[in-house]
Structure 1
Amino acid sequence: MRIDAEFIQSHNGKTLSDHRESFAYLSGKLDRKGVDVSGFIQKISKFQIAIPSWALGTGGTRFGRFPGGGEPRSLEEKVDDVGLLHALNRASGAISLHIPWDIPSDVDAIKAHAASHGLVFDAVNSNTFQDQPAQAHSYKFGSLCHTSHAVRQQAIDHNLEVIRHGEALGSKSLTVWLADGSSFPGQMNFRKALQRTLDSLKEIYAGMPEDWKLFVEYKPYEPYFYSTVIQDWGTSHLLASELGDRAFTLVDLGHHLPNTNIEQIVATLMMRGKLGGFHFNDSKFGDDDLTVGALKPYQLFLIFNELVEGMEDPRSTNPSPAWMIDASHNLKDPLEDLLQSVEAIQLAYAQALLIDRPRLEEARESNDPAKAQELLQDAHRTDVRPLIAEARLRAGAAIQPIEAFRALEVRKRLIEERGAKSISTGL
């Protein structure tokens, strides 16, 4: 299924007058503040957020999963679904694959198929947190940290295979997330486990092309109950620093203990030039993988405050981060959820761009916390939705993506094409 540009244009016509009124009001207000509105919209338009192949189907919990129908049954259909999102918002121009769930049978054909949707391939992701039917050794007691050399080598070889698939697709980065850990005190020698992990990662790093990056993800708990080998950003940073200049920490917003100051972590990693990218989601208890900005939009804004400051600092050595959503859609239509998440990220980014940074820095240097708070909250309380909608309009996307999605009855049509009980591969 594809969304016709004429449909989007026709649907936009229904709300175009109201949008123009809202945009004119906001742009006039920003003009008076000295904001370059056209340049602002260009920045928003260039900001692309990758969609992971595993987020296109219904998620679940350890208690159960309730598929919604019309889920993509193949890599080609996953690309089609990301193409639908990109047609509606023009901000989802990349897809991130998880191997071995998404190994293309015909690389040239899948690249051409993605290109026909205006898509490129973002980071590829390895999987050593599950046993696959044909593998020789189990990851029950770990992968890159395992006591057995044979198991570690199997996990290393898998990551090198993932890199080869990524090379063929045009990807330039590998994300490694390990479930490795222990459930009982005394089960694991912490120092040996970390050293084995580092040694294994060194072999993977050495096998990457020279223009590739390695992203090391961390998680404080789960699926093991006592310890995880890469449990926090400091351990990830330690590993990335040991590996070399092309290794970075990847921050998943759900991978933190309650009340962690994520924005400070972001600032520290950018200061060190080691922030590789983001997996965006929202959470209440832990790794809930909820819709981005559903619970903590102000925290998301504060994170982008640090990101924008780092990205626009000419002295910064941090490369442009990779952006991706990592969510689980237990109750919502996955595509609607992803549309909401993309917009939440754009909103936080746009609000952070509005911060009067010279005045904020003046307040900081004057030890004026009240003024600093006023400046931050003034930007956050600005309704920038007309700017995001204008960026979409100028790019040929929908002013109101979810309304267009529903007006076209996309899910109903996908169910008709794929069936009411189709289940996305890899889930």
Structure 2
Amino acid sequence: MISKDLIGTKNEAARVAHEDDYGSLGRQLARRGVEIETLTARAMAWSVAIPTWGVGTGGTRFARFPGLGEPRNIHDKLADCGVIQALTKGTRTVSPHIPWDKVSDYNALRQEAASYDLGFDAINSNTFQDQLDQEATYKFGSLAAADPKARALAVAHNIECIEIGKALGSGALTVWVGDGTNFPGQQSLGGMFRNYLEAMGEIYAALPPQMSMFIEHKMYEPAFYSTVISDWGSSLMAAQALGPQAKCLVDLGHHAPNTNIEQIVARLIHVGRLAGFHFNDSKYGDDDLDAGSVDPFRLFLVFNELVEAEGAKGFDPAYMIDQSHNVTDPIESLMGSAIEIARAYVQASLVDRKALAEAQAANDVLGAHRILKAAYLTDVSPILAEARVRQGGAHDPIATYRASGYRAEKAEERPMVKGASSGIV
């Protein structure tokens, strides 16, 4: 873990400049009628989940290049997630993936996570890969497959995930399937959707009352001609067919280029079916780039809808980062993304809602836009840093992490798995 003494030393070195920046921003915001302490409190309360697979090195459909000191198992993953939480203080939960993260004692795993100041977020099933000695293949689909044996196997796996989630204190099961077709005529498009709904109904029936089902859509890959749950409309149809515990998860990269994602968010909020988010960024498609690295304004606009909906009945979305780190240290990328996501949240909290509503009612188009841009263009970095420091985190998490030597230490402790393999981790 990262030494508290190191964090303290680095924070003290930045203290004078930080206090000046924080005070200056406070005075600037006061002139706009905003209390900086209110925003700092919101930043301190904010948290986004880290996926256990995110601390490993990702890959593409063509190759994967192992990283130094990458985690070998769930215990290593929790240690890495603990480092992120220790430095950012805004990643209080982890999201596990089964069967990658299976253990024999889930109560012990829950205690182990707690030792890193971590809890468990949504549990993720995996029916897009065949496991060793699997009785039926998912090559042609899982929950929507033509083969009833494959469907039954996928249902049983998801029900097992529900039981594991209950043991870990998770509040949701996330279901994503890559089911679809690559050739016209390969399968009945309507039949696959019916198979999916029937199988999901069996899983839904196994949910305890306190657990939600998050349905994740994706436009394409690995099925490139048709995908069973390809968009938010298909996801919403499935959720409404299953029941009130089923909701729609939004991954920022799972849409056609230039799609208005913030409008989708507003629609799902309107019908009370927004499950939450998988945050990442994209340039061309489902790139899984670091959140805020390409289009931070879009991230802000999504949070503008979320902040506006605060207080609505049943509004309690879940937030998780979902990225692939191919050329960076995953811990650094995840910390950077956690900071950028928190930045968008605090910036959206700066929007003058009353003035915006008045401008919208008066059809003051440019005036309304300028209100949003005023919030977006405000550098809230001092607020984010203050929130971290007050909770014992780092003023500059990435610089402190690099100074710690953690990655070099883990490179010695965790030998690299040699040889390239295709596929994303």
TM range (shorter): over 0.9
Identity %: 48
Secondary structure in 2 matching 1:266: helix
Q: What letter is aligned with 2:156?
A: D
1:94/1:121 contact within 8 Å kept = yes
Secondary structure in 1 matching 2:95: strand
Question: Which residue is equivalent to 1:73?
Answer: 72
Secondary structure in 1 matching 2:370: helix
1:318: how far off? 3.8
1:70/1:421 contact within 8 Å kept = no
Secondary structure in 1 matching 2:222: coil
- CA distance in structure 2 between the aligned counterparts of 1:420 and 1:157, rounded to whole angstroms: 34
1:90/1:395 contact within 8 Å kept = yes
- CA distance in structure 2 between the aligned counterparts of 1:210 and 1:286, rounded to whole angstroms: 36
Cα deviation code 1:150-176 (max 9, x no counterpart) = 211111000000111111111110000
Question: Which residue is equivalent to 1:320?
Answer: 316
- CA distance in structure 1 between the aligned counterparts of 2:67 and 2:190, rounded to whole angstroms: 45
Question: Which residue is equivalent to 2:394?
Answer: 398
Question: Which residue is equivalent to 1:231?
Answer: 230
Secondary structure in 2 matching 1:61: coil
Question: Which residue is equivalent to 1:17?
Answer: 16
Q: What letter is aligned with 1:415?
A: A
2:309/2:315 contact within 8 Å kept = no
Cα deviation code 1:298-344 (max 9, x no counterpart) = 01101110011012xx4x23431110000000111000000110011
- CA distance in structure 2 between the aligned counterparts of 1:243 and 1:236, rounded to whole angstroms: 11
1:32: how far off? 2.4
Secondary structure in 1 matching 2:96: strand
1:274/1:318 contact within 8 Å kept = no
1:421: how far off? 3.9
1:7-406 to 2 correspondence within 5 Å? Answer: 7-311=6-310, 314=311, 316-406=312-402
Cα deviation code 1:113-167 (max 9, x no counterpart) = 1111110011000000011112100011111111122211111000000111111
- CA distance in structure 2 between the aligned counterparts of 1:64 and 1:137, rounded to whole angstroms: 26
1:9: how far off? 0.9
- CA distance in structure 1 between the aligned counterparts of 2:103 and 2:391, rounded to whole angstroms: 30
- CA distance in structure 1 between the aligned counterparts of 2:308 and 2:370, rounded to whole angstroms: 18
TM-score by length of 2: 0.97
1:246: how far off? 0.9
1:71/1:422 contact within 8 Å kept = no
2:2/2:401 contact within 8 Å kept = no
In the superposition, relative to structure 1, how do residues 10 and 107 fare at CA in structure 2: closer, same or farther (>3 Å)?
same
Cα deviation code 1:10-38 (max 9, x no counterpart) = 11111111111100000111122221322
Q: What letter is aligned with 1:268?
A: R
1:422: how far off? 7.7
Q: What letter is aligned with 1:75?
A: I
Q: What letter is aligned with 2:130?
A: D
TM-score by length of 1: 0.97
Residues 230-239 or 36-45, more deviating: 36-45
2:181/2:226 contact within 8 Å kept = yes
Secondary structure in 2 matching 1:22: helix
- CA distance in structure 1 between the aligned counterparts of 2:309 and 2:177, rounded to whole angstroms: 28
Question: Which residue is equivalent to 2:409?
Answer: 413
- CA distance in structure 1 between the aligned counterparts of 2:252 and 2:188, rounded to whole angstroms: 28
Which blocks of at least 5 consecutive residues in structure 1 are unaligned?
none
Greater than 6 Å deviation, 4+ residue runs: none
Residues 4-13 or 270-279, more deviating: 4-13
RMSD, aligned α-carbons: 1.5
1:420: how far off? 3.9
Q: Number of residue pairs matched?
A: 423
Secondary structure in 2 matching 1:231: coil
1:42: how far off? 1.4
- CA distance in structure 2 between the aligned counterparts of 1:360 and 1:373, rounded to whole angstroms: 8
1:56/1:335 contact within 8 Å kept = yes
- CA distance in structure 2 between the aligned counterparts of 1:62 and 1:210, rounded to whole angstroms: 39
Q: What letter is aligned with 2:17?
A: D
Secondary structure in 2 matching 1:278: strand
Q: What letter is aligned with 1:48?
A: S
- CA distance in structure 2 between the aligned counterparts of 1:215 and 1:199, rounded to whole angstroms: 16
1:217/1:251 contact within 8 Å kept = yes
Cα deviation code 1:353-385 (max 9, x no counterpart) = 000010001111111110011101110000000
Secondary structure in 2 matching 1:60: coil
Secondary structure in 2 matching 1:98: coil
